[in-house]
A and B are shown apart, each in its own frame.
Chain A
Amino acid sequence: MEHTDLLVDWSRAQFALTALYHWLFVPLTLGLTFIVAIMETIYVKTGDIKWKTTTKYWMGLLAINFAIGLATGIIMEFEFGTNWSNYSWIVGDIFGAPLAIEGLMAFFMESTFFAVMFFGWEKVSKRMHLTSTWLVAIGSNLSALWILIANGWMQHPVGMHFNPDTARNEMQNFAEVVFNPNGVSKFLHTVSSGYVLASLFVLGISAWYMLKKRDIAFARRSAIVASSFGLIASLYLVTTGDESAHQVALTQPMKLAAMEGLYDGEKRAGIIAFGVLDSAKKIGDDLDPFIASVEIPGALSFLGYHDLNAFVPGIDDLINGNEKHGIMSIPEKMQMGKIAVASLGAYKNFKKAKDSKHAAEALKVFEAHQKYMGYGYLKKPEDAVPSVALSFYSFHTMVGLGSWFIVLFIISLYYTMTHEMHNKRWLQYLALFSIPFGYVAQEAGWITAEAGRQPWAIQDLLPVGMATSNVATTSVMITFWLFAVLFTGLLIAEVKIMLTQIKSGPEGH
Chain B
Amino acid sequence: MMRLMETKITHFFRSVYYLYYDGFINMRVGKTLWLLIIIKLFVMFAILKWLFFPDVLQERFDNDTQRSQYILQQLTQETSSHGTH
Contacts and interface: CB of A to CB of B under 8 A. Distances in A.
Contact of B55 (A81, A164, A470): A81
A86 B79 contact: no
A78 interface: yes
A23 interface: no
Given A116-B19, A167-B71, A345-B85, A479 B76 contact: no
A86 B56 CA distance: 9
A165 B41 CA distance: 38
A115 B33 contact: no
Contact of B22 (A70, A75, A119, A379): A119
A417 interface: no
A70 to B, nearest CB: 6
Interface in B5-58: 15, 18-20, 22-24, 29-30, 32-34, 36-37, 40-41, 43-44, 48-49, 52-58
A2 B48 contact: no
A63 B33 contact: yes
B48 A86 contact: no
B64 interface: yes
B82 interface: yes
A88 B56 CA distance: 11
B29 A64 contact: yes
A123 B19 contact: yes
B10 to A, nearest CB: 17
Contacts of B57: 81, 85, 88-89
A341 to B, nearest CB: 4
A486 B58 CA distance: 27
A338 B75 CA distance: 11
A63 B36 CA distance: 13
B78 A377 contact: yes
A2 B56 contact: no
Contacts, number: 130
Contacts of B67: 89
Question: For chain B, which range describes its interface: under 10, 10 to 19, 20 to 34, or 35 or more residues?
Answer: 35 or more
A267 B15 CA distance: 67
Interface string A474-492: 0100110011001000100
Nearest to A348: B72
Given A82-B54, A123-B15, A490-B40, A376 B79 contact: yes
Contact of A64 (B33, B41, B44, B53): B33
B55 A342 contact: no
Contacts of B24: 119
Interface string A443-482: 0000000000000000000000010011100010011001
Given A341-B78, A497-B32, A67 B37 contact: yes
Contacts of B20: 115, 119
A366 B56 CA distance: 28
Given A115-B19, A338-B84, A63 B74 contact: no
A342 B84 contact: yes
A1 B71 contact: no
Nearest to B30: A63
Residue among B20, B34, B41, B76 facing the most chain A CB atoms (10 A cut-off): B76
A348 B72 CA distance: 8
Nearest to B53: A78
Given A79-B53, A115-B20, A2 B81 contact: yes
B84 A68 contact: no
Contact of A493 (B36, B71, B74): B36
Contacts of A79: 53
A469 B32 CA distance: 38
Contacts of B33: 63-64, 67-68, 497
B36 A67 contact: yes
A79 B53 CA distance: 7
Given A2-B78, A167-B71, A466-B75, 12 more contacts: A86-B71, A118-B23, A119-B20, A123-B15, A166-B68, A167-B72, A470-B56, A479-B48, A479-B53, A483-B48, A486-B43, A493-B36
Interface of A: 1-2, 60, 63-64, 67-68, 70-71, 74-75, 78-79, 81-82, 85-86, 88-90, 115-116, 118-120, 123-124, 164-168, 338, 341-342, 344-345, 348, 376-377, 379, 466, 469-471, 475, 478-479, 482-483, 486, 490, 493, 497, 501
Enumerate the 5 nearest inter-chain pairs by beta-carbon distance, A residue then B residue, closest first.
A119-B23, A345-B76, A67-B33, A78-B53, A81-B55
